[in-house]
Chains A and B, each alone.
Chain A
Amino acid sequence: MHDRKARRLVEATLIDGITRAEAEKAEAEWKPYLEEQLKRMAAEGVPKDRWPQHGHWDWRQKQEAADAYLAYRMFGVECQSQMQGLMLVLTAGKNCQIESQKGKPLAYVHFLAAAPWNLATVAPDPRFSLVGSILVATAIHLSIEEEFQGRIGLHSLPQADEWYRNSCGMTDLGRDHAVQDLRYFEMTPEQASEFLK
C-alpha cells in the first residue's frame, strides 16, 4: 500500500477468504465514515454526481455469499489493522465477450471497493492508494490459478471507468443494458500480462 501522507510504501496483508468477523468489522468502520462524509458533502453542496456510487453495498451479506457458495472468492487488503479494500470474484459461469477470447471462461469481479477514506471522491485527505491495483492484480492471479490465463471481466462504476480503461488497460466493451447501463470491461491474457509487468 502507499501511504499518501508519508509518501512511502507500507506493509499490507492480502486476505484470501474474508471471515464474517472481518466483514462485520469493515462494515462497522466504513459505514460511519461514509455517512459522515456524505453529510459533509451535502452541507458543502457537492453535486450528487460526485458522490460515491457504492454507498449501500452490504459487505456482510457478500461475505455470507462467499462463504456459502464455492464459486465466489472474497479478498481483502488490510493495513494498520483496518480493511482498506474488499473484492468479491465469481469464478464460474462467466465467459469472455471480447472477440479474440469469445466464449472462454473468465474470473468476474462482482464487486470491488476501496475503504471510503481512501477514495479521492469521498475523503478530503485520502489515506492510502494502490488498493485498486492490488485487488485487480489479485483477480488476475486468481484467474491464472483457475486456468483462465488472466482473463477477467467487470462492470465499472462511472467514476472508475477511466481508471479501468486507461490505467489498467482493459478493453471497454461499452454500456451493458443488462447491468444498470454500466460499462463492461474485459482483460485479455496479453493485457493481464502487461498489467502485471
Chain B
Amino acid sequence: MKTNLSKEWLTKRVERDEKADVSAGMLDLGRLQAEPPTARVESIQASAETESLHPAFGRLINLWRRKRGLRMDVLADRAQIDLTELIEIERNLHYTPEPRTVYQLAKTLELPSERMLELSGNLVVRDSSLGEEAVRFAARSESVEKLSKDEQRALEEFVKFLSEK
C-alpha cells in the first residue's frame, strides 16, 4: 500500500499529537479471535433484503440459547464474544453484529455459519426462500422466559430448514 507522509506533514502533526491518547476500539475488550469464514466476506454488502432478516437472527440466537439452557454470560464466555454485544444482538433486532461474532456464535451453538452470516446481514442472501422462512419464524416466536410449545416447534423447523440448505 502506498503511503506518502512527508517530513513537513509529520512536523505539522507533532504539536497536535503532543498530549493525545489515540485509542479507538472497544473498552477493555480484546477477544477478536481467528476464525476463517472464507474469502466470501469480500462480497459483504448491506442490503434491504438482509436488513429484513435481522429480527430472525436475534430471535434465533435468543431461542436457541434458551433451548440449550445457557445464560447469556455463559454463552458469551463460551463463544468468546463480548457480553454487551450478545445483549445487543438479542435485544436490538436491527443490530448488525461483526462477522467474527456471528461465526463464533454459530460454532458454539452448532448452527450453520454461512446461513447465520446471511441472516445477520453479513453476507448477501442467495436463496429467496430464506427471507420467507425468516419472516415466518420471527412472527411465530415471541420473547418469553420459557419456550412455549409453538416457539419450540418454530425454532426446530427453522433450524432444520437452515441445516438442510
Contacts and interface: CB of A to CB of B under 8 A. Distances in A.
Interface of A: 2, 9, 14, 16, 52-59, 61-62, 64-65, 67-71, 85, 88, 90, 92-93, 95, 103, 109-114, 119-121, 129-138, 141-142, 145, 154-157, 159-160, 162-164, 167, 177-180, 182, 196-197
Interface residues of B, number: 48
Interface stretch (B17-25, B54-62, B143-151, B153-161): B17-25
Contacts of A14: 3
Contacts of A136: 22
B34 A154 contact: no
- Residue from B7, B24, B45 whose CB has the most chain A CB atoms within 10 Å: B24
A71 B41 contact: yes
Given A14-B3, A16-B1, A196-B9, A70 B28 contact: no
Contacts of A132: 17, 20, 22
B129 interface: no
B18 A178 contact: no
Interface stretch (B67-75, B92-100, B132-140): B92-100
A9 B32 contact: no
Q: What 10 A-B pairs have minimum CB-CB distances, sorted nearest first?
A: A132-B22, A64-B34, A57-B30, A58-B30, A111-B25, A93-B44, A163-B20, A159-B21, A157-B23, A112-B24
Contacts of B95: 178
Contacts of A110: 25, 32
Contacts of A62: 30, 32
A134 B18 CA distance: 14
Interface of B: 1-5, 7, 9-11, 13-14, 16-37, 39, 41-42, 44-46, 84, 88, 92, 95-96, 98-100, 122
Nearest to B14: A2
Given A56-B28, A114-B21, A130-B14, 5 more contacts: A65-B32, A69-B100, A70-B42, A134-B10, A163-B21
B46 to A, nearest CB: 6
Nearest to A154: B24
21 contacts: A54-B25, A69-B34, A69-B100, A70-B41, A71-B99, A92-B42, A103-B46, A111-B26, A112-B22, A112-B23, A112-B25, A120-B19, A132-B20, A132-B22, A133-B10, A134-B5, A145-B1, A163-B17, A167-B16, A178-B92, A182-B26
Contacts of B36: 68-69
